[in-house]
Amino acid sequence: MAIGILLVGGMGTRLKPLTNQTPKPMLPVGGLPVTERQLLAAKKAGINSVILATSYLSEVFTPYFGDGSKWGMKLLYAVEKEPLGTGGAIRNAADLIDFADATEEFVIFNGDVLSGHDIAAQIAFHKANKADATLHLIEVADARAFGCVPTDSTGRVLDFLEKMENPVTNAINAGCYVFNPSVISQIPEGKVVSIERETFPQLVKSARPVFGYNEQSYWLDIGTPAALFQGSRDIVGEGFIAGSGSVIGQNSVITGGTSIGQGSTIGANCKITNSIIGDGVSIGDNCSIADSFILHNSHLASASEIIGKYISPTENLPISL
């Protein structure tokens, strides 16, 4: 079975202040961290062993995921003291195992993507083409913020152009790659390397078989506050969801795709809309909350008015969605 590598070490700068205390992939969408949703998707495709490539706030992952047995998976952690970039992170993670002798493919995931695509079909496409690398591609209206990936009629990748002003196609790198071990061997060890700006262009230039797997399914990069809230609303739907052990007081009205984590308490007569509320949060009576992110274990006094805010146990900062 293929081995997964999740790239979860980025700084999440565009998501600040939401990433002040939480690495981007651990932010909850629809009540579960993005990373957990990705692990579930990987498992569905038969990937049971996954290496988490961590750097920024690396200490947050292990207490939550442990050895993975809770999910019936085997998890390993590769920690970069200094971020090694996407390529360096892949190499560093693969070095935890005897990857050069591996007969299986590696499946690499950008850790900030919610994708409904069929990972098993992507792996099958990779094998059918005898490819060295196969990238999931999707079409977007504006490709400028992404890796632009032109292909020929057979799906063979002709070029890889990371974040260009005048995109040559709307097909972009959706952030999920199937790699043969030989591709990982090519990434230099212990160095900062960008898979997008260095490895992919080199592979294409040296005429290695790199393919694009097109599947236009649900896809979202949660890299900004607006996108994170969108992703959470997409999972929740119109109303709200609340995790196990959460209690909602009388006459409280919760709408707009709000998600509430586990073991949180909402007082009576509250109005909450379009918000993300973590685990173990306590909110007093008569509160009004809109367009806000309330981090795990935060406390809000009765009659609080919270509009467009990031609240943590130690911070209260504005956010714009």
Judged by the rule CB under 6 A, the positions of this chain that interact with ligand GDD are 7-10, 24, 53-55, 80, 83-86, 89, 110-113, 146-147, 162, 172-173, 175, 196, 221, 223
CA–chain centroid gap for 220, Å, is: 9
The per-residue DSSP string of 226-246 comes to HHHHHHHHHHH-SSEEE-TT-
Choose among ligand GDD, Mg ion, none what residue 35 binds, the Cβ cut-off being 5 to 8 Å by kind: none
Select from 215, 184, 193 the least CA-distant residue to 104: 184
| Three-point CA angle 207, 209, 210, nearest 5° | 105
Question: Residue 167 Cβ, how far from ligand GDD at the closest point, in Å?
Answer: 11
Would you count residue 261 as binding Mg ion (CB under 5 A)? no
Question: Residue 112 Cβ, how far from ligand GDD at the closest point, in Å?
Answer: 4
Measured CA to CA, the distance from residue 108 to residue 317 in angstroms comes to 34
Question: Residue 178 Cβ, how far from Mg ion at the closest point, in Å?
Answer: 19
- Burial state string for 109-136 with b = 16 or more CB within 10 A and e = fewer than 16: bbbbbbbebbbeebbebbeebebbbbbb
CB of 225 or CB of 267, closer to ligand GDD = 225
Measured CA to CA, the distance from residue 206 to residue 200 in angstroms comes to 10
CB of 7 or CB of 18, closer to ligand GDD = 7
Residue 62, both tokens? 């292990």
Measured CA to CA, the distance from residue 283 to residue 268 in angstroms comes to 9
Would you count residue 23 as binding Mg ion (CB under 5 A)? no
Would you count residue 28 as binding Mg ion (CB under 5 A)? no
Question: Residue 86 Cβ, how far from ligand GDD at the closest point, in Å?
Answer: 5
Q: Which of residues 111, 223, 257, 261 is near Mg ion by CB under 5 A?
A: 223
Would you count residue 196 as binding Mg ion (CB under 5 A)? no
Residue 81's CB is within 10 A of a number of other CB atoms, namely 7
Q: Going residue by residue from 62 to 101, which x/- string records binding to Mg ion, judged by CB under 5 A?
A: ----------------------------------------
Tell me which amino acid residue 270 is.
Answer: C
Question: Residue 245 Cβ, how far from ligand GDD at the closest point, in Å?
Answer: 30
Exposed/middle/buried for 36, CB within 10 Å: 0-12, 13-18, 19+?
middle
CB of 112 or CB of 198, closer to Mg ion = 112
CB of 173 or CB of 312, closer to ligand GDD = 173
Choose among Mg ion, ligand GDD, none what residue 117 binds, the Cβ cut-off being 5 to 8 Å by kind: none
Q: Which of residues 80, 105, 198, 221 is near Mg ion by CB under 5 A?
A: 221
CB of 86 or CB of 214, closer to ligand GDD = 86
Integer angstrom CA distances of residue 175 from 1, 6, 138, 155, 178: 20, 10, 10, 17, 10
CB of 8 or CB of 277, closer to ligand GDD = 8
Question: Residue 156 Cβ, how far from ligand GDD at the closest point, in Å?
Answer: 18
Alpha helices for the chain (secondary structure H): 34-44, 61-65, 85-94, 119-128, 181-185, 200-205, 225-236
Choose among ligand GDD, Mg ion, none what residue 7 binds, the Cβ cut-off being 5 to 8 Å by kind: ligand GDD
Would you count residue 279 as binding Mg ion (CB under 5 A)? no
Choose among Mg ion, ligand GDD, none what residue 91 binds, the Cβ cut-off being 5 to 8 Å by kind: none
Site of interaction with Mg ion (CB under 5 A): 112, 221, 223
